[in-house]
Structure 1
Amino acid sequence: MNAPRVAVTGIGVVAPGGVGRDAFWSMLTAGRTATRRITFFDPAGFRCQVAAEADFDPAAHGLSPQEIRRMDRAAQLAVVATREALLDSGLDLDAREPTRTAVTVGNAVGCTMGLEQEYRVVSDGGRKWLVDHEYAVPHLYDYFAPSSLAREVAWACGAEGPTAVVSSGCTSGIDALGHATALLRDGSADVVIAGSTDAPISPITLACFDAIKATSTYNDQPDAACRPFDAERRGLVLGEGAAFFVLESLEAARRRDARVYCEIAGYGGRANGYHMTGLKPDGREMAEAIRVALDEARLDPDAVDYVNAHGSGTRQNDRHETAAVKTTLGEHAYRVPMSSIKSMVGHSLGAIGSIEVAACALAVAHDVVPPTANLTRPDPECDLDYVPVTAREHRTDVALSVGSGFGGFQSAIVVADPEAVPA
């Protein structure tokens, strides 16, 4: 029996500059940036003082006062994105066997904002070494355990099937979808609610990135602080957000006449076993992940119509993935458009992989590829077509999204119009 093909029938997004799938896509195709001076706390004194914050009001998006009190911001983003994806899919999960619905959540840094906020409370602003737990919220343990994120998503959709958190740094959002696809293909679930979430914009996160000098110092130009593939780039800009998907077999989706955004056709993951933050310039491990994803999809490199780059805005990353794309796509690499939406929505760590897959799915659905904002002076060493500044109408049947994470993680995923995938 052949493994089922995996269809995306619902998409939900909460991202900087656009809460909701339609607002997110409108912002990307307009080439607007959502990076700004940090407002969540006073960033004065930090090396980097800008980030891409989501204008997100949990109450306005349907969360109850108790849910808001219980959930860290990362969980709030995940639940709201999940609800949008379910509504978009048209699935009635209440009418289905709950043990056949699975949940996979990608995440890199857990409930950072809740933990930091509560530490400030129980330590009286850091003045007490022996903290007073009496001041902590009752749900402090949930902030400590990243598994609470998957639990909240499962509760939101009544899922009682396999439920997991995938935490592999900045590739978590792609890897969670790879895991979800495997659950459907091996028959462990009929429906998987899958995606990723992170809300890392806090003093501790900013301090960590300041320490390794990975973040942009364009503090006086926050809307142009992230400049992937540009000769004047200075590093990444932190972001936050969530994107979730309803995945089911293509056969089941067609049987109920559901809208199919795309098919998840192939996934590959590798590690470089090299350095915590460093990347080899030849991009060999990322190239291998791309090759595996295309092989699983049974697609030739020339079939790729769009590459969604990791495009963090650091010199070593931009050069690394440019080399990887050249290695795997050959001469076709010079013909295919490739862009980074991190230039607009920042780098939301574990969430960004799924947010970028959402952009790919919408690119396939609308035949438009989003641009790389702020790319005005290309780096001569990055010589591919990075779609500078302005979105482009472009026939997009097959999109490839790649991710690269601290620790050497390299991932790739192929999403496609089902008609473009060999049956």
Structure 2
Amino acid sequence: MSAVRQERVPVITGIGVVAPGGVGTKAFWELLTAGRTATRAISLFDAGSFRSRIAAECDFDPAAEGLSPQEIRRMDRAAQFAVVAAREALTDSGLELAEIDPGLIGVSIGSAVGCTTGLEEEYVVLSDGGRRWLLDPSYAVPQLYGYMVPSTMAVEVAWACGAEGPVSLTSTGCTAGLDSMGHGAQLIREGSAEIVLAGATDAPLSPITVACFDAIRATSPNNADPESASRPFDLNRDGFVLGEGAAVMVLEEREAARRRGARGYAEISGFARRSNAFHMTGLKPDGREMAEAIRDALRQAGASAGDVDYINAHGSGTRQNDRHETAAFKRSLGERAREIPVSSIKSMIGHSLGAIGSIEIAASALALRHQVVPPTANLHTPDPECDLDYVPLTAREHAMDAVLSVGSGFGGFQSAMLLRRGETA
């Protein structure tokens, strides 16, 4: 008679964050709970010619964050974010990597736009400011090929922690941060790794990215008042605000974390994805695919709508997304949706594309730890079609055992993850 295999439950034991408003998990959580916004006029380049000239920038000094001159020269800004966040997460976890078989350490990183900053900077140099069609490769930095291959960011994190197990890069647009966390959790569940550095990073604040979102009029043109430009679920919203940043978390198997006395922020209990196969940027108003992802995540966790205590929404601040998401909550959770507090941290730190899903998971885990729901900043006049409890303006103390975090991305991607307050919390 064969022995019954014990379920392997992934638990978050370390968190590292690089976000607008302050580098590090402590600064990140303080900004969220204070309801402060980190959106401002773009300072990383001259944005004077663009329709939307605002963003949520990270005040990031790579040397001050411990990166060497060689690392700074080698890595794109997004890769720098990821490595700094990974190092903070490892320190927070209390792991001694020297005592762990490197073949049991994995890395799962997400990104929507890869090394956009480095690629654009190099194009400007090689093309002489866009004046030459034929580029002169002799002016290129040796790292240019690495900028063109997004997986180099996952490799940098692997080098930083000595990982010799599974290493991967997930690029599924704005759900990449959720999807990379889901993949990392699966590596733990199936026993492919004992430790996984999972998260996402993006540094998309460059002229080409701003121009692309300008062209489809997706970003807010509220240049006169950048602090209040990101307004998820508000009747007067006029588009999302670009951001940048990274979050990386240490995932471990629950029993192993318990044996070493680790502090667990949250257990990853369920994760599911769907696609609408409909439109590159459009969303169906009924929210069916997101609702199905939510139901599947709950099913995997053995949970019901009544178990969800808080929803960390995608909440981008576009009319299409906010109404689609509201419909998805009602469709998947029924009347319970009206009783659950929901909020969007994009109101404070903008939308960092692929990175934001992992940053929101970090916020969800911290909400469980501190039993506080971050607010939706700038929500003064609720959209009547978004008629749920969107926690306007002020953080709220709230008893929580389970948090649902969702994401929606161009291409029709829809992802949902359920976190539970773990026994080691």
The TM-score by the shorter chain falls in which range? over 0.9
Structure 1 counterpart SS, 2:188: helix
Q: 2:238 aligns with which of 223, 234, 238?
A: 234
Tell me the residue number matched to 1:369.
373
Q: Distance in 1 between matches of 2:106 and 2:203?
A: 23
**What is the alpha-carbon root mean square deviation over aligned residues?**
1.0
- For 1:206-217, list aligned pairs within 5 A: 206-217=210-221
The answer on 1:159 being equivalent to 2:168 is: no
AA in 1 matched with 2:310:
Y
Alignment correspondent of 2:302: 298
State the partner residue of 2:204.
Answer: 200
Which residues of structure 1 form unaligned runs of 5+? none
| CA contact 2:243–2:352 (8 Å) conserved in 1 | yes
Shift of 1:278: 0.4
For residue 291 of structure 2, what is the aligned residue in structure 1?
287
1:11 aligns with 2:15: yes
2:42 equivalent to 1:42:
no
CA displacement at 1:387 relative to structure 2: 0.3
Whole-Å separation in 2 of the counterparts to 1:304 and 1:223: 31
C-alpha separation in 1, matches of 2:356 and 2:37: 15
Equivalence map 1:105-124=2 (5 Å): 105-124=109-128
Q: Following TM superposition, by how much is the alpha carbon of 1:2 offset from its aligned partner in structure 2, in angstroms?
A: 3.0
Within the alignment, does 1:104 sit opposite 2:108 as a pair? yes
Determine whether 1:85 maps to 2:83. Answer: no
Cα pair 2:195 2:251 within 8 Å, conserved: yes
Alpha-carbon offset, residue 420 of structure 1: 11
Task: Report if aligned partners of 1:105, 1:149 keep a CA contact under 8 Å in 2.
Answer: yes
SS in 2 for 1:418: coil
Instruction: Tell me what 1:274 maps to.
Output: 278
- Which residue type is aligned with residue 380 of structure 2? T
Provide the C-alpha distance between the structure 2 equivalents of 1:419 and 1:107, rounded to a whole number of angstroms: 31
Per the TM alignment, residue 3 of structure 1 is displaced from its structure 2 partner at its CA by: 2.9
Q: Deviations over 1:248-300 (max 9, x none)?
A: 01100100000000101110100000000000000000000000111111111
Instruction: Find 1:398's aligned residue among 402, 419, 423.
Output: 402
Residue identity matched to 1:332: R
1:146 to 146, 150, 165: 150
**Aligned equivalents of 2:162 and 2:423: distance in 1?**
32
Deviations along 1:293-341, whole A, 9 cap, x unmatched? Answer: 1111111111101000000000010000101011111111111100000
Task: Work out the number of aligned pairs and report it.
Answer: 421
Work out the CA distance in 1 between the residues paired with 2:299 and 2:252.
21
2:261 is matched by which residue type in structure 1? D
Pairing 1:253-402 to 2, within 5 Å after superposition: 253-402=257-406
Bigger drift between 215-224 and 125-134 goes to: 125-134
Aligned partners of 1:143 and 1:213: how far apart in 2?
Answer: 28
Quote the Cα distance in structure 2 between the aligned partners of 1:343 and 1:396.
22
Q: 1: distance between equivalents of 2:7 and 2:102?
A: 22
State whether residues 50 and 237 of structure 1, in contact with CA within 8 Å, keep that contact through their aligned partners in structure 2.
Answer: yes
Determine if contact 1:397/1:420 at 8 Å carries over to the other structure. no
Q: Secondary structure at the match of 2:106?
A: strand
**Alpha-carbon distance between aligned partners in 1 of 2:229 and 2:246, rounded to the nearest angstrom:** 22
- Report the AA paired with residue 340 of structure 1: S
Q: Determine the C-alpha separation between the residues in 1 that align with 2:243 and 2:400.
A: 27
SS of equivalent residue, structure 2 residue 306: helix
SS at match of 1:10: strand
Query: 1:418, CA displacement in angstroms?
Result: 2.2
Residue by residue, what CA displacement relative to the aligned partner does 1:205-230 show, whole Å, maximum 9, x if unpaired?
00110111100011100001110000
Structure 1 letter corresponding to 2:30: S
Once the two structures are TM-superposed, the CA of residue 134 in structure 1 deviates from its matched residue by 1.3
Matches within 5 A, 1:38-77: 38-77=42-81
SS in 2 for 1:148: helix
Aligned residue for 2:407, secondary structure, equals: strand
Letter in 2 for 1:367: Q
Distance apart, 1:70 and its partner CA: 0.2
Match of 2:25 in 1: 21
Match of 1:411 among 412, 415, 418: 415
Counterpart code for 1:194: A
Contact kept? 1:398, 1:420, Cα under 8 Å: no
Q: CA deviation at 1:191?
A: 0.6
2:36 is matched with 32
Matched, 1:135 2:130: no
- Aligned partner letter, 1:386: Y
Aligned amino acid, residue 234 of structure 1: D
Contact map agreement 1:28 1:370 (CA 8 A) in 2: yes
After superposition, the C-alpha distances for 1:67-115 in whole angstroms (9 at most, x for unaligned) are 0000000000000000000000001112111011000000000100000
What amino acid sits opposite 2:103 in the alignment? T
The structural deviation recorded for 1:133 is 1.2
Q: TM-score, normalised by structure 2?
A: 0.98
